Amino acid sequence: MSTGTLAGDLQFKPETSEGFEIGVKSLLLGNQLRLNADVFDFEYSNLQVDFFNTPTFNYITLNAASARTYGVELQAEFAPRNIAGLVLHFDGAYNNSHYGTFEAPCSPAGLTYEQGCNALRVVNPNGSYTISPNCGASATNLCNFMNVNGQPTALAPRWTAVIGGDYSRNISSALKAGLSVNVRLSSDYLTNGFPSSVTRQIDRQPSYGTLDAVLWLGSINGHWEASVIGRNLTNTFIMVGEAGLPLSGGKTGCMVSVCGPQLISDQGATVLNPRTVAIQLKYKY
């Protein structure tokens, strides 16, 4: 909390959801192939979204009016009998996650009226509305909200997949070895939960692919094991969250004709680890 915190910043409604998920599990090809699939569709009411208010330097929990997520998931695992120790797997999903109706805070700070920071929060049938506490009273700067109806939610790629395999075998009467390889794929997605015309350009994680691998050697009786573990071997830059930084950005929601061009706030991102290689030793007494 900060000195700019208002009572309304600490008030939000409980989040509720309703929907369905239907799936099927199967074993095929004489139990060599496991195949699972499901479809899902969920509607959210009063979806809780966290917003960092850079001018007042505090976090606020807001309720998006509604959101929906629907899609399909597929899992497959194949262990051929004629190649002992080999297991191939695939996990894929299509997910469409978007807001229904949501008048969100303008993000990032410095977003102008012309860039979409111009929504009104109507509360009465006669058209009266509330004004954001950060807007001021000027007729040219009435609103600090933006309409994100139908826009995608954060961290929700349309397509994801993991393709890989594991292979292990005995290499002597006392030793066994194995190799695991996984390729992870993702389509692009927004890293900011408030998709303005600006964030859709700068707060976007491009589609990517990464490679993970593990090479191990151990005793057949399981007493010890040595592994070389590689994560994100492609050294891909992956953002998993982004927000404006404090003490940056110009006036928010103001018309350019009145305030002039405004500076967009600096953005800070949370990213996953870069290429990482580790050695792991395990011993059981």
* pLDDT, tens digit (0-9, with 9 covering 90-100), for 240-278: 988 888 878 888 878 888 888 888 888 889 999 999 999
Q: What is the C-alpha separation between 140 and 256, in angstroms, rounded?
A: 10
Q: Is the pLDDT at 89 greater than 80, yes or no?
A: yes
Identify the CA nearest to 79 among candidates 153, 147, 28.
28
Q: How far apart are the first and last CA of the chain?
A: 51
User: What confidence score (pLDDT) does residue 73 get?
Assistant: 98
Kindly state the average pLDDT of the residues 56-78.
87
Kindly state the average pLDDT of the residues 192-217.
90
On whether residue 179 sits in a domain, the answer given is yes
Q: What is the pLDDT of residues 265-275, one digit of tens each?
A: 888 899 999 99
Asked if 119 and 128 count as a contact pair (C-beta separation under 8 A), the reply is no
Domain count, the chain: 1
Lowest mean pLDDT segment, chosen from 11-25, 147-161, 215-229, 244-258: 244-258
Which three-class secondary structure state does DSSP give residue 101?
coil
The more confidently predicted of residues 192 and 61 is 192
User: What confidence score (pLDDT) does residue 254 get?
Assistant: 81
User: What confidence score (pLDDT) does residue 130 get?
Assistant: 53
On whether residue 244 sits in a domain, the answer given is yes
On whether residue 236 sits in a domain, the answer given is yes
User: What confidence score (pLDDT) does residue 282 get?
Assistant: 94
User: What confidence score (pLDDT) does residue 196 get?
Assistant: 86
User: What confidence score (pLDDT) does residue 132 get?
Assistant: 44
On whether residue 180 sits in a domain, the answer given is yes
Q: What is the DSSP letter of 265?
A: P
Q: Is the pLDDT at 231 greater than 70, yes or no?
A: yes
Half-sphere exposure of 61 (CA within 13 A, CB side): 10
Q: Is the pLDDT at 283 greater than 50, yes or no?
A: yes
Kindly state the average pLDDT of the residues 75-101.
96
User: What confidence score (pLDDT) does residue 8 get?
Assistant: 55
Kindly state the average pLDDT of the residues 162-184.
97
What does residue 10 show for φ and ψ, rounded to 5 degrees?
-105, 10
Identify the CA nearest to 84 among candidates 178, 177, 168, 25.
168
Burial tier of 285 (Cβ tally within 10 Å: 0-12, 13-18, 19+): exposed
The more confidently predicted of residues 62 and 161 is 161
User: What confidence score (pLDDT) does residue 144 get?
Assistant: 73
Q: What is the C-alpha separation between 212 and 136, in angstroms, rounded?
A: 52
Asked if 237 and 210 count as a contact pair (C-beta separation under 8 A), the reply is no
Residue range(s) defining the domain that contains residue 76: 16-43+72-283
Q: Is the pLDDT at 49 greater than 60, yes or no?
A: yes
On whether residue 7 sits in a domain, the answer given is no
Half-sphere exposure of 180 (CA within 13 A, CB side): 12
On whether residue 33 sits in a domain, the answer given is yes
Tokens 């993702």 locate to 186
Kindly state the average pLDDT of the residues 203-220.
96
On whether residue 51 sits in a domain, the answer given is no
**Sequence-ordered strand ranges (E) for the chain:** 16-28, 33-53, 58-78, 86-99, 103-105, 121-122, 129-130, 145-147, 159-170, 175-186, 189-190, 204-205, 208-219, 224-231, 239-244, 267-271, 276-283
User: What confidence score (pLDDT) does residue 142 get?
Assistant: 42
pLDDT band at 134 (very low <50, low <70, confident <90, very high): very low
Q: What is the C-alpha separation between 184 and 171, in angstroms, rounded?
A: 29
On whether residue 9 sits in a domain, the answer given is no
Q: Is the dihedral of CA 267, 269, 275, 280 positive or negative?
A: positive
User: What confidence score (pLDDT) does residue 138 get?
Assistant: 42
